[in-house]
Amino acid sequence: MKSLTLVEFGAPSDKNELREFLRNLNGRDPDNSEIERALGKYMLSGGSPIRVKIQDLKVKLAGALDFPVDYAFLYNKPYLSDVIESKISSGFDNIVILPLFTFYSKRTAEDIEQCTKGAGNAKVEVLQLYKIGCLAKVWSNRLKSDIKGLENLIVIFIAHSIPAGKSEQYEMSFRKFAEQISASAGCKNFLIGYQNSRNGWLGPSIYDLKLGTVRNVVAVPLSFLLTNMEILYDLDVEYSRYLKQTGHTYIRSGPPEDELPACLASVV
């Protein structure tokens, strides 16, 4: 029997789950100040919508496919390793995993591989989003719609930064994807930048980009297919505030959640 499992990083729903999530994500126990900072983000943004978003995507894909669809997280419950184990015990021997991460990350790939080690004789296939052709069309259609009628604008394609070591494939696929979308959407004035960049991580930071005198800054968060905290707080709150202070108007384009189910179903 065949099944599909959607995979995201995680969506802590309370303070205890948040501590567990940060511990798994960072490989160490978070201190109280880290917990309080993260809680502040959640409160200002109304909490992470990832669990609701991935459940909605699961329902829509299940309606388009002829086999079961569920979801799992890497860094909090339901854990991917537990979901795979449950599937195998229920008789599934063909398990397709779809990580909802646009670009390849060595660390994430290793974490997913670790979760699949207990699969035994079951066939486990991990799909890679950056190899899915319809995604560029979905993103470009959304961007075209969002910039229609806008003047005096610049588009910033954004990826979440990662440590610079062994990140060539991540950086290359991000740049290629951004160039493909900009060409399809007819965006001649665009920049590429990273959010949450720090020392030793990929740059340039979106805060270091030279925007000139353009009025409208259109942020396109290409790393994410579902709206999460990195979008709702890091971009919609912090980066938006920064742009306002520097005389610009913040506009966000994407993620293209409405068009996503049909695109993924056509590939899966």
Give 120 or 151, the one with higher predicted confidence. Answer: 151
pLDDT of residue 43: 63
CA 236 to CA 244: how far, in whole Å?
Answer: 11
pLDDT of residue 44: 54
The pLDDT tens digits of the residues spanning 7-43 come to 999 877 777 787 888 788 777 888 888 878 777 776 6
Exposure of 184 by Cβ count < 10 A (0-12 exposed, 13-18 middle, 19+ buried)? middle
**What does the mean pLDDT of the chain come to?**
89
Same-domain check for residues 154 and 188: yes
pLDDT of residue 47: 62
Counting the structural domains of the chain, the total is 2
Look up the CATH number of the domain holding residue 111: 3.40.50.1400
Task: Please report, rounded to a whole number, the percentage of residues in the chain having pLDDT higher than 70.
Answer: 98
- List the alpha helices (DSSP H) in 123-167: 134-147
The DSSP result for 207-263, as a single string, is: GG---TT-SEEEEEETTBSS--HIIIIIIIIIIHHHHHHTT-EEEE----TTTHHHH
CA 134 to CA 71: how far, in whole Å?
Answer: 22
Same-domain check for residues 8 and 110: yes
Same-domain check for residues 151 and 79: no
pLDDT of residue 33: 82
Domain extent for 77: 2-131+260-267
Mean pLDDT of 212-228: 94
Q: Across-strand partners of 191? A: 156
Same-domain check for residues 57 and 152: no
CA 204 to CA 197: how far, in whole Å?
Answer: 8
Same-domain check for residues 124 and 143: no
